Amino acid sequence: MRIALAPGPGSAGLLRRLRDDGTPDGPAEQVSDLTAAVAAAEAVGQVRWVWRAGRLCYPQLLRSGVRVRRCHDTELVGSLLRARDATPEAPGAASGQGAPAVAGAGQAQFEFDSGAADPAGELAAVVELHARQLASIQADAQPARLALLAAAESAGGLAAAEMSAAGLPWRADIHDRLLTGLLGERPPMISGPPLRPARLTELTAQISAALGVARPVNPDSPVQLRQALAAGGVRVSSTRSAVLRQVDHPVIPLLLEYKELARLYAANGWSWLDAWVSGGRFRPEYVVGGVVSGRWASRGGGALQIPKVLRQAVVADPGWVLVVADAAQLEPRVLAALAGDRSFARAAAEGDVYAAVASAIGGDRATAKVALLSAMYGGSGGDSRQSLALFRRRFPDAAAYVEHAARAGQEGRVVRSVLGRTCPPPSAAWRELTSDSADPDQERDPGAGAAARARGRFTRNFVVQASAADWALVMLAALRSLLTAAPRSVPVPLPELVFFLHDEVIVHCPTSQQDRVVAAVQAAAAEATRLVFGATEVSFPMTTAVVGCYADAK
DNA sequence: AACAGGTGCGCG
DNA sequence: AAAGCGCGCACCTGTT
């Protein structure tokens, strides 16, 4: 059963039952307590809520303790369909001029036109959009796959809101102790230029002394630092750690230590703690579909870049544990399943893919890993050349799959993930830059080849990264539903999804539930593999660790 | 004072 | 000859 929903005014809202094709099945109904109405409908049966966006509608429900199982998120589905239908401007090959930008056919088709301050207007818009989106999915060349993607993306919207509401358990006291140990006491908050923690001040002085400069150098300034290094006879192309590490000079260890600590202080120091951790939880805001490949992004708090040292602060509540699960070597396995390469699929059938590839190409594991990464990322650096050639000879179908995607990108075409997520078309500037000139006298821009190859690397990687994101999203959706659907003879708090990062998920659960959660993770992975890739020899194992502290997972 | 773009580094 | 994919965020620098 589908029910369209529009919130407001206040705690009231509008509901309208829909048939499975999206047409209304009755009149719109006003309810005075929307949350209660949603809870009541969820208790009775399997509802798919049809709403403008979980991002907008769901947090309110969660605050009242109401969860929903399924939804159709017109905002998220709309952005999938817009990406699919986006058409680049006509190539400017003949004239060398970029053709004027023409809105793609689907450009305006899946958007909200009303500001929807009025619930009736929003409900009508939702109902109409939903029907149009269902029809558009049915008209796709691969309707079943796209429908799965739409459902998974919508479920992702639910999971994201639930994870933000639950929060990642975070011990501010441990974090604070860690900072103090590494940086010294927290600098007092005063007006004027911010004070540095003691350890950073100390290092700054030592760095200036080691460089023998009269005026103190600000190590945060690449310009100043490069000048000071040059004055000391050290010439570097940049002040990146990787570059500095190759230099032999007494100041280098000081600089490397400074960089590491300054980064921790700036990105995840006390201010971060004040801003993002409250009530023992870190509550990031996830942006579902925020990356073109379908990976999630985040807004504020740098949720997807928590440094490894801070994992010490992620500690389960008393009587609870963290189940940390990670899809092992996801991208190579995805390539194996995508490409239908028999030999490669056999290599990815179990165990360590890199080791299996190594024995197939007669090299060591590290070489095999470089070859695989080069195949998936488009690298061609000196060391990878030979191993990549071996890889291509031994696994021709896998190599051909990514090379085909690279060629499409270079030629300005788009590529799609296994479930039909489409990469963006090239920009007008790219087309302009790379278009062949009809005028033989006109110099071709020397950057044209580089731009074409860069797009080739992007689409080469897109088919793998986006298909991996498809798999992970379906896995997350399956896990979410397994965790909440589990029968509970004794009332025990439900396990909670608390973190998701590309190929890794953390569930916080009562200790008594840990075995069930681990089993659910494995079941979710198997389900995702079946739904996304059908019958395949490739396995997608998930490693799981049951720990009290995130830092103790692998 | 505010902004844009570059640099650098954290994560996968 | 140059060369790996995708992000978010903080700081610096030059400009308005």
- pLDDT, tens only, A33-49: 999 999 999 999 899 99
Region A380-386: what's the mean pLDDT?
74
Instruction: For residue A299, say whether its CB is under 7 Å from any atom of strand C.
Output: yes
Q: Cα(A467)–Cα(A241) distance, rounded to whole angstroms? A: 33
Q: Is the pLDDT of residue A385 over 70?
A: yes
CA of A262 to C1' of C13 (A): 19
As given in the structure block, the two tokens for residue A215 are 């005026």
pLDDT for position A111: 62
- pLDDT, tens only, A49-91: 999 999 999 999 999 999 999 999 999 999 999 999 987 754 4
pLDDT for position A434: 84
- List, in sequence order, every residue forming a beta bridge with A298; answer none if it has no partner: A286
Q: Nearest Cα to A542, choosing from A505, A498, A501?
A: A505
* Predicted TM-score of the model (pTM): 0.92
Q: Which residue is nearest to nucleotide C8 (CA to C1')?
A: A302
DSSP one-letter code for A310? G
Instruction: For residue A239, say whether its CB is under 7 Å from any atom of strand C.
Output: no
Instruction: For residue A268, say whether its CB is under 7 Å from any atom of strand C.
Output: no
pLDDT for position A158: 97
Which nucleotides of strand C lie within 7 A of protein CB?
Answer: 2-14
pLDDT for position A214: 82
Region A352-374: what's the mean pLDDT?
90
pLDDT for position A100: 29
Nucleotide minimizing C1' to CA distance for residue A237:
B7
Write down which residues 381-400 in A have CB closer than 7 A to strand C: 381-382, 384
Query: Residue A115 phi/psi, 5° resolution?
Result: -70, -15
CB A178 within 8 A of CB A314: no
Q: Is the pLDDT of residue A138 over 90?
A: yes
Write down the mean pLDDT value for chain A: 89
Distance in Å from the first CA to the final CA of chain A:
43
* 3-state SS assignment for residue A277: strand
Q: DSSP alpha helices (H): ranges in A15-118?
A: 34-44, 54-63, 74-85
Q: Is the pLDDT of residue A455 over 50?
A: yes
Nucleotide minimizing C1' to CA distance for residue A454:
C3
Instruction: For residue A301, say whether its CB is under 7 Å from any atom of strand C.
Output: yes
- pLDDT, tens only, A84-133: 998 775 443 222 222 223 333 334 456 665 544 799 999 999 999 999 99
Cis peptide before A187 (omega within 30 of 0): no
Place of tokens 């999630």: A296
- pLDDT, tens only, A284-335: 889 999 999 999 998 888 888 899 999 999 999 999 999 999 999 999 999 9
Share of chain A above pLDDT 90, in %: 74
Residue type, A394: R
Q: Cα(A82)–Cα(A90) distance, rounded to whole angstroms? A: 18
